[in-house]
Structure 1
């Protein structure tokens, strides 16, 4: 794949996103002590995109067509698909890295991809077409300007959802209130898996979750570790084809259990046996 590093303008303290959308900040980065005032353009960094997929052959072409040139490698983590997901990915992007996940669940797929990623920045997104790869430069913009973990939000100005059911909205709101209360945070979205982070902080994220609860686990561990977090607006699109593997009630219950087990003062959790 042709590499075209992003070179985005920097401003003092909290830069606006490339398209002018406002930023919701959770933790402000400290100014770099060695950076000269006139030298604010950060050097380009390599970017890995991790895409977990299970039976998404009909959605892969649209997703891969939208991937911007600032992405240096794409890793598709296949969850034992019974359709042509793997073959379609290889046909659409001959340079894609195809990896089987080592166990069941989205969490296992993401951890497999994170450990294999070689880029300095790691971006994660779904393969169902509900997230636009065209938004990736917005995430990289804030990683390049001092933030460690950047997450998409459907509930800040410029974001939104065309696919959020009432029960999912209520569940997200309730789980988000638990996180904000436990950690004194002011996040606006929780159950949304469009995120990016600096790969050196993967150990601090300390991921063990097996299923969809990994998205909440990442955010909680980022907060607990004191990482500098930014939220950027993101538009959730309807799934382009097929049916979701998410089960609102059962997966919501797993997320709540994860949040309670990770609360400050809780007993340390035994790592999942299926961790790669």
Structure 2
């Protein structure tokens, strides 16, 4: 199973679906207390990669105490998207699991995501709105906003998914190049603004790019728990507006790619028609 995009093939029919190596990527910013509780609950996997965003509360030290074998990476810019991109670049396993550090993600659900991929999905998309899913954390306003944005996503990509703005997901590592995320090592813009894809819109970017590429997507029921300690860096209104802009930007990007692919096939079609005419003559 794979995806053809231009002349590059992402995915392979020779995936290790029997006993895949799992890489868990954990972006974190000042989550020392949460990681002390969460990391010991993770299942034994190939690797756990913590991407630190410049924490000042001893996040890295707490993570190493809780899970001595953890791999730590310091992200180059700010934002969850940049952290995930830095973590993806460090992955050496077969499967990538995106896992939040605040205690809202249930470690016991990781097996659900891995099983969905082993059974044929390219992208296992967590959902709080399918049977078996739920949330103890989402507010009514955030839920309404998510449903509105999710509806726009389904219209734009002709899909029927239920939860756009959720960060608990997993996918085959051979699809990382398909995401085409900003270079995580590039310097931050001089004006202080985030690069596109560096912020909380990252989940939307990932969903849009996988959907546009036509990969096999399976929704996995997930129950979002309450954050254990500290306050979320998520800002419902400003981040919601950023997600809306992301949907528009990604829809335009997908349309431009489709146009380019059609143009690339036109010369081949013309040559084929010319050859057929010559043979007929």
**2:66 maps to 1:92:** yes
Q: Post-superposition shift, 1:207?
A: 2.2
Q: Deviations over 1:98-133 (max 9, x none)?
A: 110010000000000001111110001100000111
Equivalence for 2:152: 178
Q: Deviations over 1:211-255 (max 9, x none)?
A: 000100000000000100000100000000100000001111111
Kindly tell me: are residues 33 and 97 of structure 1, through their superposed partners in 2, closer, same or farther at Cα, counting changes over 3 Å? closer
**Matching residue of 1:60:** 35
Uncovered stretches (5+) of structure 2, i.e. residues with no partner? 1-11, 183-196, 258-281
Distance (Å, rounded) in 2 between the aligned partners of 1:33 and 1:200: 11
Matched, 1:80 2:68: no
Partner of 2:127: 153
Deviation at 1:61, TM superposition (A): 1.7
Asked whether 1:196 is paired with 2:184, we answer: no
Aligned twin of 2:21: 46
**Distance in 2 (alpha carbons) for counterparts of 1:43 and 1:161:** 32
1:249 is the counterpart of 2:223? no
Aligned residue in 1 for 2:250: 262
Structure-2-length-normalised TM-score = 0.79
State whether structure 2 residue 137 is matched by structure 1 residue 137: no
**Equivalents in 1 of 2:13, 2:181: separation in Å?**
31
Give the RMSD, CA atoms, in angstroms.
Answer: 1.8
Tell me the distance in 2 between the aligned counterparts of 1:158 and 1:123. 19
Greater Cα radius of gyration, structure 1 or 2: 2
- Runs (5+) with no aligned partner, structure 1: 1-31, 35-40, 269-276
Distance of 2:244 and 2:132 partners within structure 1:
28
4+ aligned runs moved over 4 Å, structure 1: 264-268
TM-score, normalising length: structure 1:
0.80
| Structure 1 residue 33: Cα displacement | 9.4
Tell me how far 1:266 sits from its aligned partner: 5.2
Higher helix share: 2
Could you tell me whether the CA contact under 8 Å between 1:50 and 1:123 is conserved in 2? yes
Query: What residue is the counterpart of 1:4 in the other structure?
Result: none
Equivalents in 2 of 1:167, 1:266: separation in Å? Answer: 31
| Distance in 2 separating the partners of 1:44 and 1:194 | 21
- Number of the residue aligned with 2:272: none
Q: Secondary structure at the match of 2:32?
A: coil
Equivalent residue for 2:5?
Answer: none
Residue 267 (structure 1) shift: 5.4
Structure 1 partner of 2:180 = 206
Aligned-partner Cα distance in 1 for 2:71–2:246: 31
